[in-house]
Amino acid sequence: MVYYSGYLRRAGIVFLGLFIFWLILVGRIFYLQFFNFFFLKEFASRQHQVHIELSPRRGNIYDARLRPQAINLNVDSLYAVPSQIEDREKVVKQLSSILSLDTDYLREKLSRKKAFVWIARRLSDQKAKEISDLKIKGLGFIKETKRVYPNGYLCSHILGFANIDNVGIEGVELFYDNYLKGKPGFGLFLRDARGKILDLWEKVVLPQNGFDLVLTIDEVIQYIAEKQLDIVFKVFRAKAASIIIMDPFTGEILAMANRPTFNLNDLKKINSENMRNRAIADMFEPGSSFKIVTAAAALEEGKVNENDKFFCENGMYRVANHILHDHQPHGWLTFKEVIEQSSNIGVTKVAQILGPAIIFRYAKLFGFGSILGIDLPGEVKGKVKPPHQWSKTSIGAIPIGHEIGVNALQLVSAISVVANGGFLLRPYIVKEIRDEYGVQIKENRPQVIRKVITPQTAFRLKEILTGVVENGTGKLAKIEDIRVAGKTGTAQKIGEDGRYVHNRFVASFVGFAPADHPRIAMCVIVDEPHPYYFGGVVCAPVFKKVAEEVLNYLETYSSPKEDKPIKENIERLVSTKNESE
């Protein structure tokens, strides 16, 4: 009995132990099932699945004739599963040698407690092959797209660029980023026990590709403009230079370029200064190019006619406590000759007849001191002082293009007013937006900002500006058998002390051709040319060479509809604007 009793006691203890163990086991299962279910499920998913963002194709950018300016190439991007890396230090050294990456950077990446880590994005084919040949466990590749610019330097300030994460940084890449970038998708890809991603997925949401842009820029016209700009920039050892070519009847920008420039496919070798689109972002005093505003105001207000004579004081004229000079002495000149010979004294005497209020009003009408609204980032509005801020000497400065800040876009828009019969148009650089199948999503159309002068005044001013090229300071812009209208400009720059510097100038020429039936308006700006600095010497020849080639190209390759500037288009735009108002 004693033995039996001891047996029962031992059996009870064992049973109790088993029962307690069973309760713990059931409790654990209950806990895992009901309280830790989501954690374990996610943990298992991480072991056998990997969540990868699927990048959309960034929209392509084309010129006006659908020649590609920005496209995408499929390339390999390298990722790692850190837990699968066996000899970390060896891998760090191998990758550092191939990718030229810092070892500390790679070591930190491969030490992360994550199931997926990007190591290097958008590799060249050669580097991807070198890494693939190493057959390192825990490394893999995913196809992504790389932004490529087929023409390198061409259109660099217009296009801008996108970074490695498909985000636009400069130019139209930035301005139209929401259209270009698309929407990313994602995929839940399966992987094997070694962590290798398989070509199997549980769920995929496909990305929405970005829209394509069609520019107003013509690649050939852009090349012609950049070639001549590059020559003048180097020959005259200039600090900077800009050129813009516009269709004066639509506001379409046919070419826009700056020097210095940069290669869109080699961004590591450039600085931020070279990236700046000086044609719209740099403000400068235009000098005599601005005299078209004073001349237009005088004609429009009926204060002066072409044959009125002004005594130009033989080159010296006192305005308040300042002595105003002409670049060469003149006696009596007609108003037409005052503009042709670019007499500062003659224009100042005209301005004294008009008064500050009228000069200011017409400067604003022509678009100076305002944003014109081009679809590019970085446009500055410039500076035009209202009459109450004028000093006693301002009447002898502002009407001839001093004490005022403008950009090249405003100058080419202003000369376009004269070319098209008196209307200020919104300049634009993207003609339309399309989806990847070529279906139009959005179209930019010509838009009249305001009427500036009457067609009669525009015609009279056009004849005066034609005289500038045929008889005056712009003779080097003259083209054989083609009438050209334009205006030269030469302005001293202001130094750090606020005074004009005698050996630093901005040279300019604005004009359009043919004068009778304008096809193009153009502005050429050269900052600090040496040794010559007059706009008629430095910039007028650039206008001549570019205009000759561009007009020949347009004559050869334009369709009959495109060949003739449609003046009715302006009338239609004005009619539409009036109806909307």
Residues assigned a catalytic role? 288
Nearest Cα neighbor of 412 from 241, 280, 220, 544 is 280
Extract the tokens encoding 17.
Answer: 């132990």
CA distance 394 to 385: 10
DSSP H/E element including 411 = helix 408-420
DSSP H/E element including 191 = strand 185-191
CA 180 to chain centre: 14
CA distance 176 to 170: 10
Side-chain half-sphere exposure of 20, counting CA atoms within 13 A: 5
Extract the tokens encoding 202.
Answer: 């549980």
CA 78 to chain centre: 31
Give whole-number Cα distances, 246 to 307, 425, 544, 570, in Å: 32, 11, 15, 15
Q: Compute, in degrees rounded to 10, the torsion defined by CA atoms 571, 574, 576, 581.
A: -160
- From the DSSP assignment, how many helices (H) and strands (E) are in the chain? 21, 21
Letter string b/e over residues 271-305, b meaning 16 or more CB atoms within 10 A of that residue's CB: eeebbbbbbbbbebbbbbbbbbbbbbbbbbeeebe
Extract the tokens encoding 81.
Answer: 């599963």
CA distance 450 to 545: 32
CB 85 within 8 A of CB 137: yes
CB 400 within 8 A of CB 344: yes
Nearest Cα neighbor of 464 from 343, 361, 359 is 343
Letter string b/e over residues 14-28, b meaning 16 or more CB atoms within 10 A of that residue's CB: eeeeeeeeeeeeeee
DSSP H/E element including 349 = helix 344-354
CA distance 276 to 283: 12
Nearest Cα neighbor of 250 from 364, 488, 378, 419 is 419
Extract the tokens encoding 424.
Answer: 């200020």
Other CB atoms within a 10 A radius of the CB of residue 316 amount to 12
DSSP H/E element including 371 = none
CA distance 382 to 92: 53
